[in-house]
Structure 1
């Protein structure tokens, strides 16, 4: 590390200019990168996905839920039929279903004053599948409302619109980064009280823009999921600040100890820099295990997870020492007083934890187990309609129609691809099943192709409910036996997504655990410290999942915090995406703490004293970094999309639980309990890892 640092200091101007070029290019090309991201959760080989691809190519739709026009008032059905004809004429490529199509009578409510038109427009690639047609449908709905007599209403709605909170357009992730950056600046200003607060933010900005530039190249090779943009922006913000904050804090300690500026930079790089390098590589290599999965969605998260820490490490180990060498003393303005980096508050906390180690272990473990317990009831899927209810007209219209007897599954139909000659037989067999509200066989243009006809099955219950999922299973079995060539629609694809992703996720997690253990064992020269770190990661993430289940699936606090009812489920992709975020961040914090404890133990050989020294020097850093990320995730929760709100909740809770309960209390208590065992490694493992045994 000394030779590398010397090179950076000799070429600090070249280093700075290089990163300026990267940042400018990344910023200029960031919109292009975002435009190239994929919004498809491809599931190659899964039956529902393959059927939906076939449906989309031949008919349009498939995994994209339809829009719905809700007409209420006198002669609702007649007006709905007339509106459907207008839509077909003025919105090219649009298929419709009304109550007068075969099998679709239930689109009109029992009272006759509410009737629906199911509208399947042509899909546009990108974040909004109906970006081209939705504005025209909204104008037609407004025109129909204006032309209708008093007491008649027309609303455009649909599951996609409701899940996005009624917002139009996809809000840029830049908003979350700016909000998170403002929160980070406030926290860093309180930590440093000087211009040094700007260094971690500058490094984070360069890291994020550099990663976006790398992603642009990656999109030319493979599909990259849109989820990665959030991962890059928010995790990049947190990790880059963590790494640079660790180096800057250590530099301040060394200058407080009397070292000259460049010597302090070298000492900081020799200690904190090595921790940053190891932490970044550990996170990158462990998350790269996702690349081995058969699903493009998870592979892209793995690749994104690989790039973020690597770019953050690169900027932290080059740009930070260059800036500190050139401007370090001047950046301490206006707080000129040096700091040895030791927090008296965290030293007292650590000393108390060491004295009450068993009580802390039992108490913290009990709290974490209680928080994680609800995870056993975790149910994956798309949000239930009840969880999307708001005071918006589009939501009220849907609620009124379902209350009047329209099947809840209309907004998320199950689609059957059936040979035209077998339509009556398949439709009859499926329609007789308990839980099926209706089987529509529209005869209009666009519903038949090449000897196949597309049927729509509307479940009586919400497809995301327990009853709806049970009915879906029966529909898939009976339809296939009766002669259907494929069963598609978003409910069926959701079910396949869960089995495809989480059926093999154990092998992915096992791979991550093994790789991380080996890297930690080599760096810390210990076998029990890595075991402890991995166990704590599992407990921490489990607690975050558990509280998310309480808030969103069960509804404890969702109204108070977000003004929305319980969704009844957790979005299918949230747990695996949250794992990618939280595992890396938790491992960062653990590496910072354990590396400092290891350093202290090597110095004086006393475990209890090493625990206090390690927490005293890293407690404030970890909590500050966690607070920055917590604020970033709070900003993310303001996105209208319910699915993003669920992800933001998991991440924000996970960071707080991990930093305060796990790393602040349980981790140091366990190190104190293990005593001498922390610092030992079997000779055989030491030889395999090529490290000197303790």
Structure 2
């Protein structure tokens, strides 16, 4: 692989104008597609294989329109103190608003009169208007939304409280200025790392091109593939982070190859050949983890994972082609002014001194395995030596620290966000609270029970028996009379729980109704199914829990095999997997502490605590595992490279840190900055994912990879690189360390082509 990537890097360097033109054309094509595509809507939510989904599908068939995907809104009124919504003046005001809403927009499907629909609380203090629209919330026009928002102005002036709930006011999530701040922080880190604006700008520009191609493609295909409005944001988050990181590793290796005295084209080829191999395998682990989300069998999650995986693939291709092309354009400006002056001085003072100065300026990434005599140890070297002196103490301290942070994960509660999780300052949350106060906490989460009797007699009998049984259950406030479809073989019964939708009591009630439905099915032959938003959320959480272990086994298993192939070791991949588990559990603990318990919530803009999103654990497992293996590959590959070239295990650890710690640290800080930038999003899911991924990268890069990994490798010694002989013979040699590439280059040099990678050497490589 390294030899192929070496040739690819040199080709991209020589044909840089053609390569750049291809990527610019792809960006323009994707941009045109995105600009001409219709506006993305919220992705349709379905959970195949669950009872709630089967009931939902049955409703679509038997009660057309009963489960429509159009937006809804509830205009909630509360009478002034001492008055009631049944007073004549308030009745007239509300009915006038009903007429205004009915005629206010052609997108309105229906508006219910609360006095005819019995939508007035028992004490008369609260009433609500139910508004249904013909289109989804993302397709509502500004005029329609404005008409809804302006509803009740006169009523408020008269002393009534008017708030609006439902999804009709939902808009595209905004990430805010913090996303830009994240990119700025990444730029600052790159400037500090490289000491050159050009070297810092190249990874940023290429990463933005890759993200532009990926996100524009997702936007262009959004309506056709039902990708949803948040898919592109998640793809942007991950694509931007890995795009900068992968480019950083290639550019760092290129500068180090230049520091060794090689010509620019040869340095570009070697950089892509050596660091590019690690980029390919690191990208593969991320793609495996993201694409593996499809095993959960939830279409929305599958599409999110595949879209993000596609963006990662683009980031890898950008790093292998556009980066070497860009290196050809920037020339000597890839080094800072100080390094260029040192290079000019070196022409008279000696090439060796100049190479050493440039190597120190570039951070020493990717040079020869051994330290030069008299070379000043960098921070990575000093830290590695400290860990080697105290491996047990470092290992115990790191594990105990992560274990302490992971403790809140034991209290993890999962659910899906609704208006009750909105900030208390929003009108949606205020409407939610008014309905809870006026009609009971369970009113915001009604259960819809579908009875499929197959005949009119069975449907009526089964629905009557079900109603009688459910009314006697604890935790039930009300049960509406059964509504039959036109053929009379299917009935709908609405159950109002006593407790709020996300409570354990409501979850228990759903299971109790389903148990009763099973008894009815056995006796009467009717099928009883429970659905509704609350039941869908419960089924979604349970399905995510059930899928977590199989998903974890699949992803970790595939990546374990991939890492065995990369490192030619059994214990190193095992250590990598166990370290990942520790970091992801600690990250979940931090998410629980912030978003469920409210610790530091005000600092991070978390206005409302509540259950952690059901998809958060499995999504974090997928994304964090892929990113964690990035750092494992980049850092430990350098150790493996030094070890196979004859260094002792301890020396190899120091060599790996000397050449890789600075770059891995910079990459981790950049990735954290990019993820943290999404904490400012107005969408609670994006905010939580941004925080979770940022803190997970911190734990994995700085605690697991920088502390636990060297400590474990130091304790294992030579055993760390043990591989059974039969397995060694069976595995193909992918040459991540570039050993075969070095041999080819040495052979070409011996044949008279020199080590500058001239044309003769390249012809020899092609023949090989």
TM-score, scaled to structure 1: 0.88
Q: Secondary structure at the match of 1:279?
A: helix
**Is 1:495 the counterpart of 2:538 in the alignment?**
yes
Sort the Cα spacing of 1:26 and 1:89 in 2 relative to 1 into closer, same or farther, 3 A: closer
The Cα of 1:492 is off from its aligned counterpart by 0.5
**Is 1:437 the counterpart of 2:477 in the alignment?**
yes
Give aligned pairs, total: 675
The Cα of 1:593 is off from its aligned counterpart by 0.5
Contact kept in structure 1, 2:247 and 2:319, CA below 8 Å: yes
Distance 1:263 1:690 in 2: 27
Q: Please identify, of 30-39 and 500-509, the stretch whose mean Cα deviation from structure 2 is larger.
A: 30-39
**Is 1:117 the counterpart of 2:160 in the alignment?**
no
Sort the Cα spacing of 1:355 and 1:77 in 2 relative to 1 into closer, same or farther, 3 A: farther
Sort the Cα spacing of 1:94 and 1:687 in 2 relative to 1 into closer, same or farther, 3 A: farther
> Equivalent residues in 2 for 1:48-63 (5 A)?
48-55=52-59, 58-61=64-67
What residue is the counterpart of 2:99 in the other structure? 86
What residue is the counterpart of 1:253 in the other structure? 256
**Correspondent of 1:410 among 428, 435, 443:** 443
**Is 1:506 the counterpart of 2:508 in the alignment?**
no
Contact kept in structure 2, 1:36 and 1:219, CA below 8 Å: yes
Sort the Cα spacing of 1:672 and 1:365 in 2 relative to 1 into closer, same or farther, 3 A: same
What residue is the counterpart of 1:27 in the other structure? 31
Q: Secondary structure at the match of 1:503?
A: helix
Q: Please identify, of 79-88 and 516-525, the stretch whose mean Cα deviation from structure 2 is larger.
A: 79-88
Q: Please identify, of 170-179 and 541-550, the stretch whose mean Cα deviation from structure 2 is larger.
A: 170-179
Q: Deviations over 1:469-492 (max 9, x none)?
A: 222322343466566753221111
What residue is the counterpart of 1:199 in the other structure? 202
What residue is the counterpart of 2:371 in the other structure? none
**Is 1:46 the counterpart of 2:57 in the alignment?**
no
What residue is the counterpart of 2:720 in the other structure? 678
Sort the Cα spacing of 1:555 and 1:109 in 2 relative to 1 into closer, same or farther, 3 A: farther
**Is 1:235 the counterpart of 2:238 in the alignment?**
yes
**Is 1:350 the counterpart of 2:372 in the alignment?**
no
Sort the Cα spacing of 1:458 and 1:635 in 2 relative to 1 into closer, same or farther, 3 A: farther
Distance 1:387 1:53 in 2: 27
Contact kept in structure 1, 2:387 and 2:711, CA below 8 Å: yes
Distance 2:154 2:492 in 1: 30
Q: Secondary structure at the match of 1:456?
A: strand
Contact kept in structure 2, 1:84 and 1:117, CA below 8 Å: no
The Cα of 1:430 is off from its aligned counterpart by 2.4
Distance 2:426 2:101 in 1: 26
**Is 1:592 the counterpart of 2:634 in the alignment?**
yes
The Cα of 1:176 is off from its aligned counterpart by 6.9
Q: Secondary structure at the match of 1:268?
A: helix
Q: Secondary structure at the match of 2:613?
A: coil
Sort the Cα spacing of 1:258 and 1:269 in 2 relative to 1 into closer, same or farther, 3 A: same
The Cα of 1:396 is off from its aligned counterpart by 3.8
Distance 2:385 2:435 in 1: 62
**Correspondent of 1:187 among 177, 189, 212:** 189
The Cα of 1:516 is off from its aligned counterpart by 0.9
**Is 1:4 the counterpart of 2:17 in the alignment?**
no
Sort the Cα spacing of 1:608 and 1:32 in 2 relative to 1 into closer, same or farther, 3 A: farther
Sort the Cα spacing of 1:322 and 1:244 in 2 relative to 1 into closer, same or farther, 3 A: same
Segments of structure 2 that go 5 or more residues without pairing to the other structure are 341-357, 365-376, 521-525, 740-768
Contact kept in structure 1, 2:290 and 2:622, CA below 8 Å: yes
Q: Secondary structure at the match of 1:169?
A: coil
What residue is the counterpart of 2:397 in the other structure? 363
Contact kept in structure 1, 2:384 and 2:657, CA below 8 Å: yes
What residue is the counterpart of 1:374 in the other structure? 408
> Equivalent residues in 2 for 1:286-297 (5 A)?
286-297=289-300
TM-score, scaled to structure 2: 0.80
Distance 2:409 2:566 in 1: 33
- Supply the RMSD in Å over aligned alpha carbons: 3.3
What residue is the counterpart of 2:508 in the other structure? 470
Contact kept in structure 2, 1:430 and 1:475, CA below 8 Å: yes
Sort the Cα spacing of 1:616 and 1:177 in 2 relative to 1 into closer, same or farther, 3 A: same
Contact kept in structure 2, 1:385 and 1:462, CA below 8 Å: no
What residue is the counterpart of 2:152 in the other structure? 141
Contact kept in structure 2, 1:291 and 1:302, CA below 8 Å: yes
Q: Secondary structure at the match of 1:59?
A: coil
What residue is the counterpart of 1:164 in the other structure? none
Q: Deviations over 1:66-89 (max 9, x none)?
A: 533221122224546736853784
**Is 1:70 the counterpart of 2:76 in the alignment?**
yes
Q: Please identify, of 56-65 and 512-521, the stretch whose mean Cα deviation from structure 2 is larger.
A: 56-65
Contact kept in structure 2, 1:384 and 1:462, CA below 8 Å: no
**Is 1:603 the counterpart of 2:645 in the alignment?**
yes
The Cα of 1:287 is off from its aligned counterpart by 3.5
The Cα of 1:206 is off from its aligned counterpart by 1.7
The Cα of 1:3 is off from its aligned counterpart by 2.2
**Is 1:154 the counterpart of 2:167 in the alignment?**
no
**Is 1:577 the counterpart of 2:619 in the alignment?**
yes
What residue is the counterpart of 2:214 in the other structure? 211
The Cα of 1:505 is off from its aligned counterpart by 3.3
**Correspondent of 1:341 among 351, 363, 370:** 363
Distance 1:455 1:606 in 2: 73
Distance 2:188 2:495 in 1: 53
**Is 1:522 the counterpart of 2:522 in the alignment?**
no
Distance 1:97 1:349 in 2: 71
The Cα of 1:197 is off from its aligned counterpart by 0.8
Contact kept in structure 2, 1:207 and 1:312, CA below 8 Å: yes
Bigger radius of gyration: 2
Sort the Cα spacing of 1:424 and 1:574 in 2 relative to 1 into closer, same or farther, 3 A: same
Q: Secondary structure at the match of 1:67?
A: strand
Q: Please identify, of 67-76 and 293-302, the stretch whose mean Cα deviation from structure 2 is larger.
A: 293-302
Distance 1:89 1:313 in 2: 53
